[in-house]
């Protein structure tokens, strides 16, 4: 059966629009070195390397992990490259964990990154085949109609998304690594920002960032000997469903509901809202906070917006969400999922500095991708299960 595994080191780069001072290799090495330093390890101590990033067309390199591998100590070691659309960062963490949980490796390093400044993501995402209908206006154009569907269904007030955006941007001010630092953020500022894909406003969307996130994971017998704080992995889960099929609920896909139910079952959680201390959720457009509060079974169907409205998801609320500022504040696409997982681990290790939730013991990390069809999640805790 699965070997109990812990996160023992985390490293992140500063998230910025353009990291012109480093190459792709330099970027991921920066995150990996910080994770090793946090874990008090050297390259030699790593058994295998797991690399994740979003589509290769973003940076114009086919299977870039091949040329990047030795920059993060992967020479003559096993190396895997994960790619599961927007959820890839989360999946990278899960695959890395499984390498230890299976008993195959003692200690692994995973790194996820995107260097959007070396790429043209909008181009990469909108290559339209000659015979297909090119009518989807980017990710915003795809998700905006679904947000409208959620609003219709739940009766959520129109300003719910604004409130999420203000909260996450305020949280980002606590996190020096966050890309967007908007000191004068206000309700009016978000409300008055241009409507890009109605009902999604400019300040309700995520930026394009460069950045990398790395983690070191270790088996119990090693992690237990550490004096520093570690994050024990209680459960991981992945679920996928096809993009388009008849009767598909695109607003609240079955895959998210199944993912959540199985995750909690594995973690022995029956009342997630009470048993989890905080959550770091993949919210690239502000409305996805209430949607995934429902999708992760934190609250009842069509009630997610109330958590935002009542301040439950605020930093000082009873269920803080996106303490780091979230995807809305930093979005190196391929890394974004792993950053969510890492933030959950930082919280339960008590090492989240200014964005630390007091006494956080159990936290949820979440990522999703594709047309709301790929989900990867984990639960970590300061205590062993």
Please give the residues from 92 up to 131 whose contact with another protein meets the rule CB under 8 A: 94-95, 98-99, 101-104, 122-131
DSSP-based three-state secondary structure for 2 = coil
User: 301 to 340, contacts with another protein by CB under 8 A?
Assistant: none
Residue count, binding to another protein (CB under 8 A): 100
For the bound state, the minimum distance from the C-beta of residue 145 to another protein, rounded and expressed in Å, comes to: 4
User: 216 to 245, contacts with another protein by CB under 8 A?
Assistant: 237-245
Torsion sign, CA atoms 102, 374, 377, 237: negative
For the bound state, the minimum distance from the C-beta of residue 310 to another protein, rounded and expressed in Å, comes to: 26
Cβ(343)–Cβ(365) below 8 Å: yes
Stretch that binds another protein, among 33-41, 106-114, 147-155, 291-299 (CB under 8 A): 147-155
Cβ(30)–Cβ(212) below 8 Å: yes
User: 18 to 37, contacts with another protein by CB under 8 A?
Assistant: 20-21, 23-24
Q: Which of 4, 14, 33, 61 binds another protein (CB under 8 A)?
A: 61
User: 253 to 312, contacts with another protein by CB under 8 A?
Assistant: 253-255, 258-259
Cβ(159)–Cβ(203) below 8 Å: no
Q: Which of 12, 91, 299, 336 binds another protein (CB under 8 A)?
A: 91
370 part of the interface to another protein, by CB under 8 A: yes
For the bound state, the minimum distance from the C-beta of residue 202 to another protein, rounded and expressed in Å, comes to: 9
Q: Which residue number, 13 or 91, has a Cβ lying nearer to another protein?
A: 91
136 part of the interface to another protein, by CB under 8 A: yes
In the DSSP assignment, the letter for residue 315 is T
Q: Give residue 216's Cα distance to chain centre.
A: 17
Cβ(240)–Cβ(120) below 8 Å: no
List phi, psi (to 5°) of 226.
-80, 145
Mutual angle of helices 88-101 and 333-349, in 10-degree steps:
60
Q: Is the peptide bond before 38 cis (omega within 30 degrees of 0)?
A: no
75 part of the interface to another protein, by CB under 8 A: yes
């Amino acid at each position: 059966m699965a070997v109990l595994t812990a996160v023992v080191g985390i490293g992140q780069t500063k998230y910025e629009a353009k990291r012109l001072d480093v190459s792709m290799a330099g970027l991921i090495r920066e995150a990996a070195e910080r994770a090793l330093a946090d874990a008090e390890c050297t390259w030699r101590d790593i058994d295998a390397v797991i690399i994740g990033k979003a589509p290769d067309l973003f940076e114009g390199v086919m299977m870039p992990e091949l040329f990047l591998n030795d920059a993060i100590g992967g020479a003559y070691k096993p190396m895997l490259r994960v790619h599961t659309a927007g959820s890839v960062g989360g999946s990278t963490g899960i695959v890395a964990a499984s390498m230890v949980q299976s008993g195959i490796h003692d200690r692994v390093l995973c790194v996820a990154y995107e260097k959007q400044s070396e790429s043209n993501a909008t181009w990469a995402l909108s290559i339209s085949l000659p015979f297909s209908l090119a009518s989807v206006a980017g990710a915003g154009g795809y998700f905006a109609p679904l947000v409208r569907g959620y609003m219709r269904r739940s009766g959520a007030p129109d300003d719910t998304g604004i409130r999420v955006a203000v909260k996450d941007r305020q949280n980002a001010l606590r996190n020096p690594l966050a890309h967007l630092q908007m000191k004068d953020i206000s309700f009016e500022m978000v409300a008055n920002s241009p409507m890009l894909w109605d009902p999604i406003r400019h300040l309700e969307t995520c930026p394009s960032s460069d950045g990398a996130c790395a983690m070191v994971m270790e088996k119990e017998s090693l992690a237990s000997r550490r004096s520093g704080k570690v994050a024990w992995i209680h459960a991981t889960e992945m679920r996928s469903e096809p993009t388009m099929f008849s009767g598909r609920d695109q607003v609240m896909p079955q895959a998210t509901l199944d993912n959540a139910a199985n995750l909690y079952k594995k973690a022995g959680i029956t009342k997630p809202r009470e048993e989890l201390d905080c959550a770091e959720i993949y919210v690239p457009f502000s409305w996805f906070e209430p949607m995934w509060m429902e999708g992760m079974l934190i609250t009842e169907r069509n009630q997610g917006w109330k958590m935002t409205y009542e301040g439950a998801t605020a930093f000082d609320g009873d269920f803080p969400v996106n303490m780091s500022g979230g995807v809305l504040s930093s979005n190196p696409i391929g890394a974004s999922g792993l950053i969510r997982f890492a933030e959950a681990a930082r919280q339960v290790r008590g090492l989240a500095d200014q964005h630390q939730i007091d006494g956080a013991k159990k936290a949820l990390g979440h990522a999703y991708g594709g047309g709301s069809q790929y989900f990867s999640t984990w639960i970590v805790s300061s205590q062993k299960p």
